[in-house]
Every structure is written in C-alpha cells, then in structure tokens.
Amino acid sequence: MKLSVVIPVYNEKNTIEQLLEKVKEVADIEKEIIVVDDASSDGTVAILKQLEIQNPDVKFYYKDVNKGKGDTLKLGFSHTTGDYVIVQDADLEYDPQDYRKLLRTLEEEKVDVVYGSRFSGNYEDMSNLHYLGNKVLTLVTNFLFGVLLTDMETCYKLMPGDFVRSLNIKSARFDFEPEITAKILKAGLRIKEVPISYKGRSHNQGKKITWKDGIGALTTLIKFRFFD
C-alpha cells in the first residue's frame, strides 16, 4: 500500500525543512511526498528550491499566484498516485508518526476513511476561539449528515486515492475541510476516528485561519449538504 502525503505550503520558512524531515522519518511505510507552494512571499520558496535538490525523491510544485489551501491541495491531489492520500500541514502542529495509527485502523477496522481526532487524543495550545469553532462546526456536521464525529476540521483525513483524484474541489481556502467531509459522507464512505496528538500555534507564530474562515466553513457545510 502506497501513501501519498500532500504538503500545502504558504509562508512556512521556519518549519518546512523540519516538517519534511519528520515526514521522511516515518519508517516502514511506502510514501509518495508531494510539496505544493502557494506563492509564498517570506523566503519559503528559496528553501524549497534547496530542499528539492537535496530530496530528488520528493515532488515539488510551485504556484505563481496565492489562492489558498483548497486550491493548493487540488493541484497536489492531481499529482498523487498512492492507494491512499493524507494532507500534512507544514506548521508542525501534527505529528507524522501518527500515520501508522491511521493506516493500522484502516486495515483492522475495514473502513473507507480514517480521521485523526485531536479531541480524542492529546491536544495542546489550542486557543479558546479555535476550540469553540472546531466544536461548533463538528456539531453542525453531525446534525446535517447524521454522524457522530468529534473533529471534522482535522487535517489528518486518510482517504482512498482514487476517490480523492476523482473530486472536483471547489473550495479555494480553509473551507476545503467541510467540503471534503461533505463529499465523503454523501458518497457513503465510512469514517472511523482515532486519537492523534496535536500541538497548536498562535497567530503570532504563523497560524493563518481566523474566525472568518469559520463562517465560511459553516456556509460550505450547508451548501454541500443541500445544494451541491
């Protein structure tokens, strides 16, 4: 089984090198690593160009215009060839060693998709606003789709490669998460959650999502439940 790891990057010069090393350190898993830069402006591109030389086994793609995480992932997904696909944020909030736990659950539970739940595991340094926003969006997801998730907004969604590559992602920004969840559930795929570790960062440290993205996510959930 081959795992495609798609890493969207935007202005992550302080973490991308360490993150890529952490992903490569995950042993005993056949991995395809795809890095997509969303027109970074802080010096990240220069670092990626050097990493590209040092890591010929990793695929690097560069966008000319910044359009957001959803648009970046759409490009990354189109270049995947793995049996399964997972998104890895470049900010060190998530631990790539948890890949093993998700893959093991996939094999043992015979489900279609595995979500890594931050709220079932060990989470640190999440602001009250982000905690509340995540909880509200997950509650709305459960109500609209009749499921019992604990963390809809998690980055770690282990999904079948063929399913991911067949999608027409319409969300350009952080509303990608509710769109992909809605499409997974409407396709009848079974989701299993497993606990993962998480260490959040503040806006001063580079976190980009805001309360406005929460409003957009809520709108996206309703849109893809009833109108798309």
Over 90: is that where the pLDDT of 174 sits?
no
The per-residue pLDDT for range 27-65, each reduced to its tens digit, is: 999 999 999 999 999 999 999 999 999 999 999 999 999
Three-state DSSP at 50 gives helix
Banded pLDDT at 226 (limits 50, 70, 90): confident
Please say if the pLDDT value at position 205 is more than 60: no
pLDDT exceeds 80 at position 126: no
Residues in contact with 51: Cβ distance below 8 Å, sequence separation at least 6, in sequence order: 16, 17, 20, 35, 58, 60
Q: How many CB atoms within 10 Å of residue 49? A: 12
Mean pLDDT to the nearest integer, 152-174: 92
- Highest mean pLDDT range out of 4-8, 89-93, 219-223? 4-8
CATH of the domain at 127: 3.90.550.10
Please count the other Cβ atoms lying within 10 Å of the Cβ belonging to residue 202: 10
Q: Which domain holds residue 9?
A: 2-226
Q: What is the pLDDT of residue 34?
A: 98
Q: Are 37 and 7 in contact (CB under 8 A)?
A: no
Q: For residues 165 and 158, give the distance between their C-alpha atoms in angstroms, rounded to a whole number.
A: 13
- Average pLDDT value over all residues in the chain: 90
Q: How far apart are CA 90 and CA 159, in angstroms?
A: 19
pLDDT of 228 above 90: no
From edge to edge, which strands make up the β-sheet containing 2-9? 59-62, 30-37, 2-9, 84-87, 157-160, 113-124, 191-199
Residue 221, SS3 per DSSP: helix
Q: Would you state the pLDDT for residue 224?
A: 85
Rounded CA separation 136/98 (Å): 25
Q: Can you point out the beta strands (E) in the chain? A: 2-9, 30-37, 59-62, 84-87, 113-124, 157-160, 191-199
**Mean pLDDT computed over 16-24:** 98
Q: How many CB atoms lie within 10 A of CB 75?
A: 18
Among candidates 151, 144, 215, which has minimal Cα distance to 186?
144
| Nearest alpha carbon to residue 44 among 76, 96, 91 | 91
Give the number of domains in the chain.
1
- Going by C-alpha positions, the residue among 58, 68, 34, 36 that lies closest to residue 175 is 68
Check residue 212 and give its pLDDT: 63
Beta strands at 84-87 and 157-160: parallel, antiparallel or unpaired: antiparallel
